């Protein structure tokens, strides 16, 4: 299997996982009383509704094929917390919904791989790459969704972890909340990337082994 086809497949997994992440935000917001995402046409799994030209297409493809690593995002789902029946609870649930969706995908497929290995590791899924490495798409789906879930839990703006923190600190640590909200998005992303490349590989591998029950890693 050509190296570039492997990269393309990884790109597709990441983008689809990010789209499910954003859909989960909109779905939970709607359940909490906010129809903004629905009226904006974003309460759908249609990829076209969630694509951002730069963040979903150009930047990630340039990074993946040019430098061998990936960073990108789907278009954020519009949310209006003023519509929530309970603003604090709504903020917490909506912020966690995207992360939960990624972890749910990882857990369901990971448990399938754990208890039905003969199916998930069958020859129809295992593909030999040009450099002699076995490529199994199920492993990548699990691992990428673990990574997305963990990355979005980092408590810096604009990631979901910061919004969860806002929700838990609201009314208790006003100055800290306002400071975090005032932090620049790209500054937050740089911090998140530093944390991700330093600590997340170890934590992601641990969670992967915990779910699948094995020592398989990427």
Phi, psi angle pair for 170, to nearest 5°:
-55, 125
Give the integer Cα–Cα distance in Å for 145 and 107: 9
User: Which comes out higher in pLDDT, residue 106 or 187?
Assistant: 106
Concatenate the DSSP letters of all residues of 19-82 into one string.
Answer: HHHHHHHHHHHHHTT--HHHHTT-SS--GGGT--IIIIIIHHHHHHHHHS-----PPPPP--GG
Which pLDDT score, from 0 to 100, does residue 21 have? 96
Among all residues, which ones are annotated catalytic? Answer: 22
Residue 191: inside a domain, yes or no?
yes
Locate 218 and state its tokens. 């990427």
Locate 12 and state its tokens. 């597709």
User: Which comes out higher in pLDDT, residue 212 or 126?
Assistant: 212
Domain that holds residue 85: 3-212
Give the integer Cα–Cα distance in Å for 216 and 218: 7
CA atoms within 13 A on the CB side of 141: 18
Which pLDDT score, from 0 to 100, does residue 132 have? 54
Residue 38: inside a domain, yes or no?
yes
Residue 95: inside a domain, yes or no?
yes
Q: Are 164 and 96 in contact (CB under 8 A)?
A: yes
Give the model confidence (pLDDT) of 5-46 as tens digits: 788 888 899 999 999 999 999 999 999 999 999 999 999 999
Residue 196: inside a domain, yes or no?
yes
Residue 217: inside a domain, yes or no?
no
Sorting pLDDT into bands at 50, 70 and 90, what band is 89? very high
Which pLDDT score, from 0 to 100, does residue 108 have? 96
Give the integer Cα–Cα distance in Å for 147 and 162: 17
Residue 218: inside a domain, yes or no?
no
Give the model confidence (pLDDT) of 136-145 as tens digits: 889 989 999 9
Mean pLDDT of the chain: 83
- How many structural domains is the chain composed of? 1
- Which range among 91-95, 148-152, 189-193 shows the weakest confidence by mean pLDDT? 189-193
Pick the closest to residue 149 from 78, 96, 193 (CA basis): 96
Give the model confidence (pLDDT) of 153-206 as tens digits: 988 777 898 888 877 776 554 444 444 454 456 666 677 777 677 888 889 999
């Amino acid at each position: 299997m050509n190296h570039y086809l492997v990269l393309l497949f990884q790109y597709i997994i990441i983008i689809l996982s990010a789209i499910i992440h954003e859909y989960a935000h909109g779905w939970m917001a709607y359940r909490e009383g906010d129809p903004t995402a629905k009226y904006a046409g974003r309460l759908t799994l249609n990829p076209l509704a969630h694509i951002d030209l730069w963040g979903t297409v150009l930047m990630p493809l340039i990074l993946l094929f040019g430098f061998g690593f990936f960073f990108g995002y789907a278009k954020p789902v519009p949310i209006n917390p003023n519509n929530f029946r309970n603003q604090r609870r709504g903020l917490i649930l909506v912020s966690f919904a995207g992360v939960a969706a990624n972890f749910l995908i990882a857990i369901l497929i990971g448990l399938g791989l754990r208890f039905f290995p003969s199916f998930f590791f069958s020859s129809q899924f295992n593909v030999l790459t040009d450099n002699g490495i076995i490529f199994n798409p199920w492993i990548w789906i699990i691992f990428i969704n673990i990574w997305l879930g963990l990355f979005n839990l980092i408590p810096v703006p604009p990631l979901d972890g910061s919004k969860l923190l806002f929700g838990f600190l609201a009314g208790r640590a006003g100055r800290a909340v306002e400071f975090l909200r005032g932090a620049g998005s790209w500054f937050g992303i740089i911090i998140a990337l530093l944390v991700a490349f330093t600590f997340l590989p170890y934590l992601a591998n641990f969670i992967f082994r915990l779910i699948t029950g094995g020592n398989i890693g990427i």
